[in-house]
Chains A and B, each alone.
Chain A
Amino acid sequence: MKKQRGALFLFLTPGFLVMFFIALVPFAFAIFMSLINLNVMYSSKPHFVGLENYINLFTDRRALNAFRNTGIFVGVAVGIEFIIALPMSYIFYSTFKRRRMRNLIMLLIAFPMMIPKVTSGLLWKFLYNPLFGLVNYFRSLIGMQPFAFLSNPTTALISIVLVDIWQWTPFMILILLSSLEALPEEPFEAATIDRANEFQKFWYLAVPMLRPIFFVAVIFRVIDALRTFDTIYVMTSGGPGIATETVDIFAYLIGISQGGRLSYASAASIILLIITIIISNVITKYLYKEDITA
Protein backbone atom coordinates (compact mmCIF):
# COMPACT_ATOMS: atom_id res chain seq x y z
CA MET A 1 0.00 0.00 0.00
CA LYS A 2 2.82 2.37 0.89
CA LYS A 3 4.50 1.52 -2.40
CA GLN A 4 1.26 2.23 -4.27
CA ARG A 5 1.16 5.76 -2.90
CA GLY A 6 4.72 6.44 -3.98
CA ALA A 7 4.02 5.14 -7.47
CA LEU A 8 0.82 7.14 -7.73
CA PHE A 9 2.73 10.24 -6.80
CA LEU A 10 5.43 9.57 -9.39
CA PHE A 11 2.92 8.91 -12.14
CA LEU A 12 0.70 11.89 -11.49
CA THR A 13 3.00 14.66 -10.35
CA PRO A 14 4.99 15.56 -13.48
CA GLY A 15 1.97 15.94 -15.71
CA PHE A 16 -0.22 17.75 -13.28
CA LEU A 17 2.59 19.98 -12.09
CA VAL A 18 2.92 21.18 -15.67
CA MET A 19 -0.84 21.62 -15.98
CA PHE A 20 -0.78 23.55 -12.74
CA PHE A 21 1.92 25.85 -14.07
CA ILE A 22 0.42 26.48 -17.48
CA ALA A 23 -3.25 26.66 -16.55
CA LEU A 24 -3.86 27.35 -12.88
CA VAL A 25 -1.03 29.80 -12.19
CA PRO A 26 -1.83 32.07 -15.16
CA PHE A 27 -5.51 31.84 -14.26
CA ALA A 28 -4.87 33.00 -10.69
CA PHE A 29 -2.55 35.68 -12.01
CA ALA A 30 -5.20 36.84 -14.47
CA ILE A 31 -7.73 37.23 -11.68
CA PHE A 32 -5.20 39.22 -9.70
CA MET A 33 -4.46 41.40 -12.73
CA SER A 34 -8.14 42.08 -13.25
CA LEU A 35 -8.38 43.53 -9.74
CA ILE A 36 -5.57 46.08 -10.09
CA ASN A 37 -5.06 48.83 -12.63
CA LEU A 38 -2.09 47.57 -14.62
CA ASN A 39 -1.60 49.59 -17.77
CA VAL A 40 1.48 49.73 -19.94
CA MET A 41 0.83 53.42 -20.55
CA TYR A 42 0.88 54.40 -16.86
CA SER A 43 4.21 55.00 -15.26
CA SER A 44 2.76 54.96 -11.75
CA LYS A 45 2.72 51.80 -9.67
CA PRO A 46 -0.46 49.75 -10.16
CA HIS A 47 -2.75 49.55 -7.16
CA PHE A 48 -5.78 47.57 -6.10
CA VAL A 49 -9.05 48.78 -7.62
CA GLY A 50 -11.41 45.98 -6.65
CA LEU A 51 -14.13 45.28 -9.17
CA GLU A 52 -13.75 48.59 -10.97
CA ASN A 53 -12.55 46.97 -14.21
CA TYR A 54 -15.55 44.67 -14.25
CA ILE A 55 -17.95 47.53 -13.55
CA ASN A 56 -16.38 49.61 -16.29
CA LEU A 57 -16.90 46.78 -18.76
CA PHE A 58 -20.63 47.07 -18.33
CA THR A 59 -20.68 50.75 -19.17
CA ASP A 60 -18.15 50.55 -22.01
CA ARG A 61 -19.99 50.47 -25.31
CA ARG A 62 -17.09 48.83 -27.08
CA ALA A 63 -16.94 46.05 -24.49
CA LEU A 64 -20.69 45.52 -24.57
CA ASN A 65 -20.49 45.37 -28.34
CA ALA A 66 -17.83 42.65 -28.02
CA PHE A 67 -20.02 40.58 -25.70
CA ARG A 68 -22.95 41.07 -28.03
CA ASN A 69 -20.88 39.98 -31.03
CA THR A 70 -19.64 36.89 -29.19
CA GLY A 71 -23.24 36.07 -28.33
CA ILE A 72 -24.37 36.47 -31.94
CA PHE A 73 -21.38 34.55 -33.26
CA VAL A 74 -21.83 31.60 -30.91
CA GLY A 75 -25.62 31.57 -31.00
CA VAL A 76 -26.09 31.82 -34.74
CA ALA A 77 -23.16 29.57 -35.67
CA VAL A 78 -23.91 26.76 -33.25
CA GLY A 79 -27.65 27.00 -33.83
CA ILE A 80 -27.36 26.67 -37.59
CA GLU A 81 -24.69 23.98 -37.31
CA PHE A 82 -27.04 21.93 -35.19
CA ILE A 83 -29.99 22.40 -37.52
CA ILE A 84 -27.88 21.24 -40.48
CA ALA A 85 -26.04 18.48 -38.66
CA LEU A 86 -29.05 16.70 -37.20
CA PRO A 87 -30.71 15.69 -40.50
CA MET A 88 -27.35 15.34 -42.27
CA SER A 89 -26.10 12.82 -39.73
CA TYR A 90 -29.21 10.71 -40.30
CA ILE A 91 -28.86 11.02 -44.07
CA PHE A 92 -25.28 9.75 -43.87
CA TYR A 93 -26.31 7.01 -41.45
CA SER A 94 -29.13 5.73 -43.60
CA THR A 95 -27.28 5.99 -46.93
CA PHE A 96 -24.03 4.29 -45.97
CA LYS A 97 -24.37 0.99 -44.18
CA ARG A 98 -21.04 -0.65 -44.86
CA ARG A 99 -18.37 -0.06 -42.24
CA ARG A 100 -15.51 0.70 -44.64
CA MET A 101 -17.64 3.15 -46.54
CA ARG A 102 -18.74 4.86 -43.34
CA ASN A 103 -15.16 5.28 -42.18
CA LEU A 104 -14.26 6.87 -45.48
CA ILE A 105 -17.25 9.19 -45.29
CA MET A 106 -16.39 10.14 -41.73
CA LEU A 107 -12.89 11.01 -42.82
CA LEU A 108 -14.25 13.18 -45.63
CA ILE A 109 -16.55 14.91 -43.16
CA ALA A 110 -13.77 15.39 -40.62
CA PHE A 111 -11.08 16.73 -42.93
CA PRO A 112 -12.20 20.40 -43.08
CA MET A 113 -11.95 20.52 -39.27
CA MET A 114 -8.27 19.72 -39.48
CA ILE A 115 -7.46 22.77 -41.55
CA PRO A 116 -5.83 25.47 -39.41
CA LYS A 117 -8.35 28.20 -38.56
CA VAL A 118 -5.86 30.69 -39.91
CA THR A 119 -5.91 28.99 -43.28
CA SER A 120 -9.67 28.69 -43.48
CA GLY A 121 -9.95 32.38 -42.58
CA LEU A 122 -7.47 33.27 -45.28
CA LEU A 123 -9.19 31.06 -47.82
CA TRP A 124 -12.60 32.56 -47.16
CA LYS A 125 -11.21 36.07 -47.25
CA PHE A 126 -10.26 35.25 -50.81
CA LEU A 127 -13.61 33.62 -51.60
CA TYR A 128 -15.42 36.73 -50.32
CA ASN A 129 -13.26 39.09 -52.36
CA PRO A 130 -15.57 41.49 -54.24
CA LEU A 131 -13.52 41.45 -57.46
CA PHE A 132 -12.42 37.89 -58.02
CA GLY A 133 -13.85 35.83 -55.19
CA LEU A 134 -15.88 32.74 -55.92
CA VAL A 135 -18.81 33.89 -53.77
CA ASN A 136 -19.33 36.99 -55.85
CA TYR A 137 -18.89 35.00 -59.03
CA PHE A 138 -21.81 32.79 -58.04
CA ARG A 139 -23.80 35.89 -57.15
CA SER A 140 -23.07 37.35 -60.58
CA LEU A 141 -24.43 34.19 -62.20
CA ILE A 142 -27.85 35.03 -60.81
CA GLY A 143 -27.48 38.66 -61.76
CA MET A 144 -26.39 40.15 -58.46
CA GLN A 145 -23.85 42.93 -58.09
CA PRO A 146 -20.49 42.20 -56.44
CA PHE A 147 -20.56 42.91 -52.73
CA ALA A 148 -17.72 43.44 -50.25
CA PHE A 149 -19.07 41.22 -47.47
CA LEU A 150 -16.18 41.74 -45.10
CA SER A 151 -15.92 45.51 -45.36
CA ASN A 152 -19.58 46.16 -44.67
CA PRO A 153 -20.37 46.42 -40.93
CA THR A 154 -23.78 44.80 -41.30
CA THR A 155 -22.58 41.70 -43.18
CA ALA A 156 -19.03 41.21 -41.85
CA LEU A 157 -19.92 39.30 -38.68
CA ILE A 158 -22.44 37.03 -40.34
CA SER A 159 -19.96 36.30 -43.15
CA ILE A 160 -17.48 35.06 -40.57
CA VAL A 161 -20.22 33.04 -38.89
CA LEU A 162 -20.71 31.30 -42.24
CA VAL A 163 -17.05 30.28 -42.25
CA ASP A 164 -17.48 28.78 -38.79
CA ILE A 165 -20.56 26.94 -40.02
CA TRP A 166 -18.65 25.65 -43.03
CA GLN A 167 -15.74 24.37 -40.99
CA TRP A 168 -17.48 23.09 -37.87
CA THR A 169 -20.84 21.63 -38.91
CA PRO A 170 -18.79 18.48 -39.69
CA PHE A 171 -17.90 18.31 -36.02
CA MET A 172 -21.54 17.99 -35.02
CA ILE A 173 -22.28 15.57 -37.83
CA LEU A 174 -19.41 13.43 -36.64
CA ILE A 175 -20.62 13.31 -33.04
CA LEU A 176 -24.22 12.60 -34.04
CA LEU A 177 -23.21 10.03 -36.65
CA SER A 178 -20.96 8.20 -34.18
CA SER A 179 -23.83 8.05 -31.70
CA LEU A 180 -26.23 6.81 -34.37
CA GLU A 181 -23.77 4.03 -35.14
CA ALA A 182 -23.75 3.03 -31.51
CA LEU A 183 -27.54 2.68 -31.43
CA PRO A 184 -29.18 -0.71 -31.87
CA GLU A 185 -30.27 -1.27 -35.48
CA GLU A 186 -33.38 -3.32 -34.72
CA PRO A 187 -35.81 -0.41 -34.24
CA PHE A 188 -34.83 0.97 -37.63
CA GLU A 189 -35.21 -2.42 -39.29
CA ALA A 190 -38.59 -2.95 -37.64
CA ALA A 191 -39.71 0.48 -38.79
CA THR A 192 -38.64 -0.33 -42.34
CA ILE A 193 -40.71 -3.50 -42.29
CA ASP A 194 -43.66 -1.46 -41.03
CA ARG A 195 -43.19 0.76 -44.09
CA ALA A 196 -42.11 3.83 -42.18
CA ASN A 197 -40.58 6.41 -44.51
CA GLU A 198 -37.20 7.97 -43.95
CA PHE A 199 -38.62 11.10 -42.38
CA GLN A 200 -40.62 9.08 -39.89
CA LYS A 201 -37.59 7.00 -38.99
CA PHE A 202 -35.58 10.16 -38.55
CA TRP A 203 -38.14 12.04 -36.52
CA TYR A 204 -39.65 9.28 -34.38
CA LEU A 205 -36.61 7.03 -33.94
CA ALA A 206 -33.30 8.78 -34.54
CA VAL A 207 -34.12 12.13 -32.93
CA PRO A 208 -35.48 10.78 -29.62
CA MET A 209 -32.65 8.26 -29.34
CA LEU A 210 -30.04 10.89 -30.10
CA ARG A 211 -31.48 13.44 -27.69
CA PRO A 212 -29.04 12.72 -24.83
CA ILE A 213 -26.13 13.52 -27.12
CA PHE A 214 -27.58 16.82 -28.45
CA PHE A 215 -26.44 18.52 -25.34
CA VAL A 216 -22.86 17.29 -25.67
CA ALA A 217 -22.56 18.24 -29.31
CA VAL A 218 -23.93 21.71 -28.73
CA ILE A 219 -21.91 22.44 -25.60
CA PHE A 220 -18.60 21.31 -27.06
CA ARG A 221 -19.24 23.52 -30.03
CA VAL A 222 -20.35 26.49 -27.89
CA ILE A 223 -17.17 26.34 -25.86
CA ASP A 224 -15.03 26.10 -28.95
CA ALA A 225 -16.87 28.92 -30.71
CA LEU A 226 -16.51 31.11 -27.62
CA ARG A 227 -12.77 31.20 -28.12
CA THR A 228 -12.64 31.70 -31.86
CA PHE A 229 -9.79 34.08 -32.47
CA ASP A 230 -7.70 32.98 -35.44
CA THR A 231 -10.43 32.99 -38.09
CA ILE A 232 -11.78 36.40 -37.13
CA TYR A 233 -8.37 37.96 -36.72
CA VAL A 234 -7.19 36.83 -40.13
CA MET A 235 -10.39 37.85 -41.89
CA THR A 236 -11.16 41.25 -40.38
CA SER A 237 -9.06 41.78 -37.21
CA GLY A 238 -12.29 42.94 -35.56
CA GLY A 239 -13.17 45.47 -38.24
CA PRO A 240 -14.64 47.27 -40.02
CA GLY A 241 -14.63 49.54 -36.97
CA ILE A 242 -15.69 47.21 -34.18
CA ALA A 243 -18.24 45.27 -36.21
CA THR A 244 -16.61 41.86 -35.78
CA GLU A 245 -14.93 42.44 -32.44
CA THR A 246 -15.70 39.47 -30.19
CA VAL A 247 -14.54 39.31 -26.58
CA ASP A 248 -11.36 37.45 -27.56
CA ILE A 249 -10.46 40.00 -30.22
CA PHE A 250 -11.47 42.93 -27.99
CA ALA A 251 -9.34 41.71 -25.08
CA TYR A 252 -6.38 41.09 -27.37
CA LEU A 253 -6.63 44.50 -29.01
CA ILE A 254 -7.04 46.63 -25.90
CA GLY A 255 -4.68 44.49 -23.82
CA ILE A 256 -1.84 43.93 -26.20
CA SER A 257 -1.85 45.51 -29.60
CA GLN A 258 -3.56 48.88 -29.08
CA GLY A 259 -2.89 50.44 -25.75
CA GLY A 260 -1.82 47.87 -23.21
CA ARG A 261 -4.74 48.13 -20.79
CA LEU A 262 -3.71 44.79 -19.34
CA SER A 263 -6.02 44.81 -16.32
CA TYR A 264 -9.06 45.82 -18.26
CA ALA A 265 -8.40 43.14 -20.88
CA SER A 266 -7.92 40.57 -18.12
CA ALA A 267 -11.29 41.43 -16.63
CA ALA A 268 -12.99 40.86 -19.99
CA SER A 269 -11.24 37.55 -20.54
CA ILE A 270 -11.97 36.39 -16.98
CA ILE A 271 -15.68 36.85 -17.64
CA LEU A 272 -15.30 34.73 -20.77
CA LEU A 273 -13.39 32.13 -18.78
CA ILE A 274 -16.01 32.00 -16.05
CA ILE A 275 -18.71 31.40 -18.66
CA THR A 276 -16.59 28.59 -20.11
CA ILE A 277 -15.94 26.99 -16.73
CA ILE A 278 -19.61 27.02 -15.85
CA ILE A 279 -20.48 25.37 -19.16
CA SER A 280 -17.71 22.79 -18.97
CA ASN A 281 -18.71 21.86 -15.41
CA VAL A 282 -22.21 21.27 -16.58
CA ILE A 283 -20.92 18.92 -19.25
CA THR A 284 -18.55 16.95 -17.04
CA LYS A 285 -21.25 16.51 -14.38
CA TYR A 286 -23.75 15.43 -16.95
CA LEU A 287 -21.71 13.19 -19.13
CA TYR A 288 -18.68 11.50 -17.71
CA LYS A 289 -19.84 10.42 -14.30
CA GLU A 290 -20.43 6.77 -14.88
CA ASP A 291 -17.73 6.16 -17.44
CA ILE A 292 -14.74 6.80 -15.20
CA THR A 293 -15.29 3.64 -13.19
CA ALA A 294 -14.75 1.53 -16.30
Chain B
Amino acid sequence: MRKKKIPFIIIIIFYFIILYLPIYWLFTTAFKERIDIVTARPKFLFRPTLSNFKWIFSFSQVTDSITNSLIVTIGSVTLSLILGSLAAYAISRFRFKGREGLRNWTLTVRMMPPIAVILPMYIIWTRLNLYDTYFSLIVTYLAVSLPLVIWLMVGFFNQIPQEIEESARIDGCGIYKTFLFIALPNAIPGIIVSAILSFIFVWNDMFFAFVLSSIHSTFPVVITSMATTGLEVRWGEMAAMGVLSVIPALVFAIFARNLLIKGFQGLYAGK
Protein backbone atom coordinates (compact mmCIF):
# COMPACT_ATOMS: atom_id res chain seq x y z
CA MET B 1 0.00 0.00 0.00
CA ARG B 2 2.70 2.44 1.05
CA LYS B 3 4.89 1.54 -1.89
CA LYS B 4 2.23 2.60 -4.37
CA LYS B 5 2.49 6.17 -3.16
CA ILE B 6 6.15 6.60 -4.06
CA PRO B 7 5.65 7.85 -7.64
CA PHE B 8 3.12 10.36 -6.32
CA ILE B 9 5.48 11.56 -3.64
CA ILE B 10 8.23 12.01 -6.21
CA ILE B 11 5.92 14.06 -8.42
CA ILE B 12 4.85 16.18 -5.45
CA ILE B 13 8.43 16.84 -4.39
CA PHE B 14 9.30 17.76 -7.95
CA TYR B 15 6.34 20.11 -8.15
CA PHE B 16 7.22 21.81 -4.90
CA ILE B 17 10.80 22.28 -6.06
CA ILE B 18 9.55 24.08 -9.18
CA LEU B 19 7.18 26.11 -7.07
CA TYR B 20 9.60 27.06 -4.34
CA LEU B 21 13.03 27.23 -5.94
CA PRO B 22 12.27 30.69 -7.41
CA ILE B 23 10.97 31.88 -4.05
CA TYR B 24 14.01 30.47 -2.29
CA TRP B 25 16.14 32.28 -4.85
CA LEU B 26 14.36 35.58 -4.19
CA PHE B 27 14.98 35.30 -0.47
CA THR B 28 18.61 34.24 -0.73
CA THR B 29 19.47 36.83 -3.38
CA ALA B 30 18.21 39.51 -1.03
CA PHE B 31 20.85 38.47 1.49
CA LYS B 32 23.73 38.10 -0.97
CA GLU B 33 26.59 40.43 -1.70
CA ARG B 34 26.71 41.65 -5.27
CA ILE B 35 29.74 39.46 -5.96
CA ASP B 36 27.73 36.37 -5.01
CA ILE B 37 24.86 37.36 -7.31
CA VAL B 38 26.62 38.37 -10.50
CA THR B 39 28.14 35.02 -11.25
CA ALA B 40 27.49 32.52 -14.01
CA ARG B 41 27.61 29.63 -11.55
CA PRO B 42 24.88 30.29 -8.98
CA LYS B 43 26.07 30.23 -5.40
CA PHE B 44 24.02 28.11 -3.08
CA LEU B 45 26.43 28.73 -0.22
CA PHE B 46 27.29 32.29 0.66
CA ARG B 47 27.92 34.66 3.54
CA PRO B 48 24.62 36.45 4.23
CA THR B 49 24.58 40.21 4.42
CA LEU B 50 22.07 42.92 5.25
CA SER B 51 23.68 45.46 2.94
CA ASN B 52 20.87 45.22 0.37
CA PHE B 53 18.28 46.09 2.98
CA LYS B 54 20.42 48.94 4.28
CA TRP B 55 20.66 50.35 0.76
CA ILE B 56 16.88 50.07 0.32
CA PHE B 57 16.10 51.77 3.59
CA SER B 58 18.43 54.65 2.82
CA PHE B 59 15.98 55.75 0.11
CA SER B 60 13.18 57.88 1.47
CA GLN B 61 11.27 57.07 -1.70
CA VAL B 62 11.17 53.43 -0.66
CA THR B 63 10.38 53.93 3.01
CA ASP B 64 7.72 56.52 2.15
CA SER B 65 6.12 54.19 -0.33
CA ILE B 66 5.90 51.44 2.28
CA THR B 67 4.17 53.88 4.62
CA ASN B 68 1.85 54.94 1.79
CA SER B 69 1.04 51.33 0.99
CA LEU B 70 0.20 50.64 4.62
CA ILE B 71 -2.02 53.72 4.90
CA VAL B 72 -3.86 53.03 1.67
CA THR B 73 -4.25 49.32 2.35
CA ILE B 74 -5.39 49.64 5.95
CA GLY B 75 -7.70 52.54 5.10
CA SER B 76 -9.28 50.73 2.22
CA VAL B 77 -9.63 47.44 4.06
CA THR B 78 -11.19 49.07 7.13
CA LEU B 79 -13.71 51.01 5.07
CA SER B 80 -14.63 48.00 3.01
CA LEU B 81 -15.12 45.87 6.14
CA ILE B 82 -17.61 48.39 7.51
CA LEU B 83 -19.47 49.04 4.27
CA GLY B 84 -19.12 45.47 3.10
CA SER B 85 -20.45 43.69 6.18
CA LEU B 86 -23.47 46.01 6.26
CA ALA B 87 -24.28 45.37 2.61
CA ALA B 88 -23.57 41.66 2.92
CA TYR B 89 -25.88 41.36 5.92
CA ALA B 90 -28.68 42.96 3.95
CA ILE B 91 -28.12 40.63 1.01
CA SER B 92 -27.97 37.60 3.27
CA ARG B 93 -30.95 38.37 5.54
CA PHE B 94 -33.45 40.58 3.76
CA ARG B 95 -35.72 39.41 1.00
CA PHE B 96 -35.97 42.02 -1.68
CA LYS B 97 -36.13 42.36 -5.44
CA GLY B 98 -32.81 42.35 -7.22
CA ARG B 99 -30.99 40.68 -4.35
CA GLU B 100 -29.43 38.00 -6.50
CA GLY B 101 -28.57 40.58 -9.14
CA LEU B 102 -26.72 42.72 -6.60
CA ARG B 103 -24.68 39.81 -5.37
CA ASN B 104 -23.74 38.79 -8.88
CA TRP B 105 -22.89 42.35 -9.73
CA THR B 106 -20.29 42.40 -6.94
CA LEU B 107 -18.66 39.44 -8.64
CA THR B 108 -18.64 41.29 -11.95
CA VAL B 109 -17.02 44.33 -10.33
CA ARG B 110 -14.39 42.13 -8.76
CA MET B 111 -13.57 40.71 -12.18
CA MET B 112 -13.56 43.90 -14.17
CA PRO B 113 -10.28 44.71 -15.90
CA PRO B 114 -8.82 47.78 -14.16
CA ILE B 115 -7.68 49.26 -17.45
CA ALA B 116 -11.34 49.82 -18.40
CA VAL B 117 -11.99 52.18 -15.50
CA ILE B 118 -8.59 53.68 -14.87
CA LEU B 119 -8.68 56.40 -17.54
CA PRO B 120 -12.02 57.83 -16.36
CA MET B 121 -10.85 57.57 -12.75
CA TYR B 122 -7.76 59.52 -13.59
CA ILE B 123 -9.85 62.26 -15.18
CA ILE B 124 -12.43 62.26 -12.37
CA TRP B 125 -9.87 62.49 -9.56
CA THR B 126 -7.94 65.19 -11.39
CA ARG B 127 -11.11 67.23 -11.94
CA LEU B 128 -12.01 66.89 -8.26
CA ASN B 129 -8.52 68.10 -7.36
CA LEU B 130 -7.99 64.85 -5.50
CA TYR B 131 -5.47 63.18 -7.79
CA ASP B 132 -2.54 61.65 -5.88
CA THR B 133 -4.10 61.88 -2.42
CA TYR B 134 -4.57 59.20 0.21
CA PHE B 135 -8.29 59.80 -0.02
CA SER B 136 -8.53 59.06 -3.74
CA LEU B 137 -6.29 56.02 -3.46
CA ILE B 138 -8.23 54.58 -0.52
CA VAL B 139 -11.54 55.10 -2.30
CA THR B 140 -10.21 53.71 -5.56
CA TYR B 141 -8.91 50.60 -3.85
CA LEU B 142 -12.40 49.98 -2.53
CA ALA B 143 -12.97 48.77 -6.09
CA VAL B 144 -10.66 45.91 -5.19
CA SER B 145 -11.55 45.27 -1.56
CA LEU B 146 -15.26 46.06 -1.27
CA PRO B 147 -16.62 43.52 -3.76
CA LEU B 148 -14.32 40.95 -2.19
CA VAL B 149 -15.59 41.65 1.33
CA ILE B 150 -19.26 41.72 0.28
CA TRP B 151 -18.83 38.46 -1.59
CA LEU B 152 -17.11 36.68 1.30
CA MET B 153 -19.33 38.11 4.03
CA VAL B 154 -22.55 37.07 2.27
CA GLY B 155 -21.17 33.56 2.35
CA PHE B 156 -20.31 33.81 6.05
CA PHE B 157 -23.63 35.35 7.09
CA ASN B 158 -25.43 32.63 5.15
CA GLN B 159 -23.65 30.05 7.28
CA ILE B 160 -24.82 31.54 10.58
CA PRO B 161 -28.10 29.92 11.58
CA GLN B 162 -30.90 32.45 11.46
CA GLU B 163 -32.64 31.01 14.52
CA ILE B 164 -30.36 32.83 16.96
CA GLU B 165 -31.20 36.13 15.39
CA GLU B 166 -34.89 35.29 15.21
CA SER B 167 -35.04 34.48 18.91
CA ALA B 168 -33.23 37.72 19.66
CA ARG B 169 -35.81 39.55 17.59
CA ILE B 170 -38.63 37.88 19.52
CA ASP B 171 -36.98 39.00 22.74
CA GLY B 172 -37.35 42.56 21.49
CA CYS B 173 -34.03 43.24 19.82
CA GLY B 174 -34.33 45.68 16.91
CA ILE B 175 -32.81 45.06 13.52
CA TYR B 176 -29.76 47.20 14.24
CA LYS B 177 -29.16 45.70 17.67
CA THR B 178 -29.53 42.19 16.28
CA PHE B 179 -26.95 42.98 13.62
CA LEU B 180 -24.53 44.63 16.01
CA PHE B 181 -24.76 42.30 19.00
CA ILE B 182 -25.80 38.97 17.53
CA ALA B 183 -24.86 38.67 13.85
CA LEU B 184 -21.59 40.59 13.84
CA PRO B 185 -19.94 38.80 16.80
CA ASN B 186 -20.86 35.47 15.21
CA ALA B 187 -19.28 36.56 11.95
CA ILE B 188 -15.91 37.51 13.44
CA PRO B 189 -13.97 34.66 11.80
CA GLY B 190 -15.48 35.73 8.49
CA ILE B 191 -14.50 39.33 9.11
CA ILE B 192 -10.91 38.31 9.85
CA VAL B 193 -10.77 36.19 6.71
CA SER B 194 -12.15 39.07 4.64
CA ALA B 195 -9.68 41.48 6.21
CA ILE B 196 -6.71 39.25 5.46
CA LEU B 197 -7.66 38.52 1.88
CA SER B 198 -8.55 42.07 0.98
CA PHE B 199 -5.35 43.24 2.65
CA ILE B 200 -3.31 40.95 0.41
CA PHE B 201 -5.22 41.94 -2.72
CA VAL B 202 -4.87 45.68 -2.11
CA TRP B 203 -1.28 45.50 -0.89
CA ASN B 204 -0.27 43.44 -3.92
CA ASP B 205 -1.91 45.60 -6.55
CA MET B 206 0.29 47.89 -8.56
CA PHE B 207 -1.91 49.12 -11.36
CA PHE B 208 -4.38 51.56 -9.77
CA ALA B 209 -1.71 53.38 -7.79
CA PHE B 210 0.61 53.26 -10.78
CA VAL B 211 -1.73 55.52 -12.75
CA LEU B 212 -3.36 57.43 -9.89
CA SER B 213 -0.39 58.52 -7.80
CA SER B 214 2.98 60.16 -8.04
CA ILE B 215 4.09 61.48 -4.65
CA HIS B 216 1.88 59.06 -2.77
CA SER B 217 3.11 56.08 -4.77
CA THR B 218 2.60 52.71 -3.16
CA PHE B 219 5.34 50.14 -2.68
CA PRO B 220 4.63 47.99 -5.77
CA VAL B 221 4.70 51.14 -7.89
CA VAL B 222 8.15 52.06 -6.62
CA ILE B 223 9.35 48.50 -7.21
CA THR B 224 8.04 48.71 -10.76
CA SER B 225 9.58 52.05 -11.52
CA MET B 226 12.93 50.89 -10.17
CA ALA B 227 12.72 47.60 -12.02
CA THR B 228 11.94 49.20 -15.36
CA THR B 229 14.31 52.14 -15.33
CA GLY B 230 17.70 50.48 -15.20
CA LEU B 231 17.95 49.80 -11.48
CA GLU B 232 17.10 46.15 -12.03
CA VAL B 233 20.80 45.50 -12.45
CA ARG B 234 21.02 45.97 -8.70
CA TRP B 235 19.56 42.50 -8.25
CA GLY B 236 20.31 42.14 -4.56
CA GLU B 237 18.61 45.39 -3.69
CA MET B 238 15.63 44.62 -5.91
CA ALA B 239 15.33 41.19 -4.34
CA ALA B 240 15.34 42.82 -0.92
CA MET B 241 12.38 44.94 -1.98
CA GLY B 242 10.70 41.82 -3.31
CA VAL B 243 11.16 40.14 0.06
CA LEU B 244 9.64 43.13 1.85
CA SER B 245 6.65 43.02 -0.49
CA VAL B 246 5.98 39.39 0.43
CA ILE B 247 6.12 39.95 4.20
CA PRO B 248 2.36 40.50 4.76
CA ALA B 249 1.54 37.29 2.90
CA LEU B 250 4.21 35.48 4.88
CA VAL B 251 2.88 36.76 8.20
CA PHE B 252 -0.67 35.71 7.35
CA ALA B 253 0.51 32.36 6.09
CA ILE B 254 2.28 31.67 9.38
CA PHE B 255 -0.21 33.07 11.85
CA ALA B 256 -3.56 32.61 10.14
CA ARG B 257 -3.10 29.65 7.86
CA ASN B 258 -6.42 27.93 8.48
CA LEU B 259 -8.34 31.15 7.98
CA LEU B 260 -6.40 31.79 4.80
CA ILE B 261 -7.35 28.44 3.31
CA LYS B 262 -10.96 29.00 4.33
CA GLY B 263 -10.83 32.38 2.66
CA PHE B 264 -9.47 31.09 -0.62
CA GLN B 265 -12.13 28.44 -0.69
CA GLY B 266 -14.89 30.94 0.06
CA LEU B 267 -13.56 33.25 -2.59
CA TYR B 268 -14.06 30.87 -5.44
CA ALA B 269 -16.64 28.40 -4.24
CA GLY B 270 -19.22 31.01 -3.30
CA LYS B 271 -20.05 29.14 -0.15
Across-interface contacts of A21 in B (CB, < 8 A): 139
Across-interface contacts of A7 in B (CB, < 8 A): 94, 175-176
- Does B186 sit at the interface, judged by CB under 8 A? no
- Does B146 sit at the interface, judged by CB under 8 A? yes
- Does B203 sit at the interface, judged by CB under 8 A? yes
Q: Give min CB distance, A113 to chain B, whole Å.
A: 8
**Highest count of chain B CB atoms <10 Å: which of A95, A114, A220, A270:** A114
Count chain B residues whose beta carbon lies closer than 8 angstroms to a beta carbon of A: 101
Residues of chain B in range 16-56 having any CB-CB distance to chain A below 8 Å: 16, 18-23, 25-26, 29, 37-42
The answer on a CB contact under 8 Å between B224 and A233 is yes
Q: Secondary structure of the A side of the interface?
A: helix
Across-interface contacts of A288 in B (CB, < 8 A): 103-104, 107, 270
- Does B121 sit at the interface, judged by CB under 8 A? yes
Closest to A17 in B: B83
Known: A248-B115, A272-B115. Is A230-B224 also a contact (CB below 8 A)?
A: yes
**Highest count of chain B CB atoms <10 Å: which of A15, A92, A217, A288:** A15
How far is it, in angstroms, between the C-alpha of A39 and the C-alpha of B114 when the chains are bound?
20
Residues of chain B in range 99-118 having any CB-CB distance to chain A below 8 Å: 99-100, 102-109, 111-118
- Does A158 sit at the interface, judged by CB under 8 A? no
Residues of A with Cβ closer than 8 Å to B? 3-4, 7-8, 10-12, 14-16, 18-19, 21-23, 25-27, 29-30, 33, 88, 91-92, 94-95, 103-104, 106-112, 114-127, 131-132, 134, 137, 140, 166, 170, 174-175, 178-179, 198, 216-217, 220, 223-224, 226-227, 229-230, 233-234, 237, 247-248, 251-252, 255-256, 262, 265-266, 269-270, 272-273, 276-277, 279-281, 283-284, 287-289, 291-292, 294
Residues of B with Cβ closer than 8 Å to A? 4-5, 8-9, 11-12, 15-16, 18-23, 25-26, 29, 37-42, 83-84, 86-87, 89-91, 94, 96, 99-100, 102-109, 111-124, 139-140, 142-143, 146-147, 150, 158-159, 175-176, 179, 200, 203-207, 211, 220, 223-224, 227-228, 232, 235, 238-239, 241-242, 245-246, 249, 252-253, 257-258, 260-261, 264-265, 268-271
